[in-house]
Amino acid sequence: MKKGLKWTGIIVIGAVILGNLGDDEEQAAPEKKVEVEQEAVQSEAKPVKAKAVAKPVKKTYGINDRVKVGKLTYVVNDVKMVDTLSNVLGEKKTSGQFLVIDLTILNGDKEERFVDSNMFKVNVGDTEYSADTELDLYANEDGMGFFLETINPNIEKTGNIVFELPKQVKNPKLEVSSGFGWAGGQSKEIQLTR
């Protein structure tokens, strides 16, 4: 009889343990079910679209406009397209065209500023053209233009910058910089057609 009670006790204890294990599984199952339901709700939700951020509108500058970039102010005085440049040095010809830009630069800084024709680019669509410093010698009376020049505070300098472009160029824009080297970093565009 003792053996029977002993086995009955072991069976009852085993049943209680198994019963408790079963309760743990039942309690765990609803948690899993809730997680699955939450995932289902999240996957059914429509994706939130990010609001479009308005791009800042670039101001359009033109010939004779004062364009301030950093401490420098630029004014395009005149624009010419020619196929020949000449002076006492001789004559330069191109199969395309020379874009000659008469430009004034005002230094609004409290110290002298170094300027160079390499600060300027002409953009035609997504194509970029650099100034030709050799041609600047043919387009400026003093022969230098903006080649390695300094401008003192509150002083203006006027000169010509020359770009060699293909003949069929439409809508060129002059990109002017806030400075040379470390002083650069900002730029604006000036529309060169009237």
Q: What is the structure's pLDDT at 90?
A: 87
Q: Looking at residues 154-166, what average pLDDT do you find?
A: 95
Count Cβ neighbours within 10 Å for each residue of 162-184 and write b for 16 or more, e otherwise.
bbbbeeebeebbbbbbbbbeebe
3-state secondary structure of 69: strand
Query: Which residues make Cβ contacts (< 8 Å) with residue 164, sequence separation at least 6?
Result: 94, 96, 97, 98, 99, 129, 132, 135
Q: What is the pLDDT of residue 5?
A: 46
Is pLDDT of 187 > 80? yes
Tell me how far apart the alpha carbons of residues 138 and 105 are, in angstroms, rounded to a whole number. 20
- pLDDT value, residue 166: 95
Task: Dump pLDDT digits (tens) for 27-78.
Answer: 544 555 545 455 555 555 555 555 556 556 568 899 999 999 999 999 999 9
Position 133 scores a pLDDT of 87
Distance, in Å, from the CA atom of 44 to the CA atom of 34, rounded to the nearest integer, reads: 15
pTM over 0.95: no
